[in-house]
Amino acid sequence: MEDPEEPVPATSRCRWYAVHGPGLAGEAEGIVMTYPIDAFTAVDADQAQPGTFYFDGQGQWFLAAQRNGSRSPGALRLTRSGGALIGTYVGNASGQAFSVASPYAVQVTVDDYASLATDGQFLGSILVGSPHTIFAAEQEQILFGLDGLERGDDAPTSRRWRYLRWSAWLVDSTGRSVGPSPLFSVDVAANVDA
């Protein structure tokens, strides 16, 4: 942010805007956070490139994803909405959305070691490995890399650690966090409580 001692140029007065609603940090209705207006761009969900993080008009977050052998893009649900579970693969992603725009990016962080599990099938959990993957499902188990590409048919084993709580932070081109809160947080326990 600018030094408060210096006058703010008129061209930069509108550089922040508010994002609010469910699916954002805290999962509470009405939370408002501010981000640079150029950090997001409008995109059709079915045109988003794999690995693109975006949110829809209801504030639900997705990762654009592509199954092996599929010509049409889909999306991995990253926040819970009604009966739809975190980690569900949506094969027919569509509609207007807002994606994180370059030069900004999303940095994924795990919340704490207490959210670490070594067994169980936890949709939406981050699996530690190379590459890091998200455990998902359509009609069968699927692993997706953070680049949005399917990572083979290997189901998670008890030897792979998975984090059940993780967050996605907006970062600038230098890798510094933008804003005081993550864009969204994932807590896989929400699937169990459903």
pLDDT at 126: 83
Q: Whole-angstrom Cα distance, residue 20 to residue 59?
A: 7
Residue located via tokens 């059940």? 164
Backbone angle region of 66, left / alpha / beta, with phi > 0 → left and psi within -120 to 50 → alpha: beta
> Integer distance in angstroms from the first to the last C-alpha of the chain?
41
- Tell me the whole-structure pTM to 2 decimals: 0.77
Amino acid letter for position 74: G
Would you give per-residue pLDDT tens digits along the chain (194 residues)?
334 333 333 322 223 333 433 444 434 444 456 788 899 999 999 999 999 999 998 889 999 999 887 888 899 999 887 778 888 899 888 899 999 999 999 999 887 666 666 666 678 888 777 677 787 777 678 888 899 988 865 555 545 677 888 899 999 999 999 988 899 998 887 776 65
Is the Cβ–Cβ distance between 102 and 113 less than 8 Å?
no
Q: Whole-angstrom Cα distance, residue 36 to residue 65?
A: 26
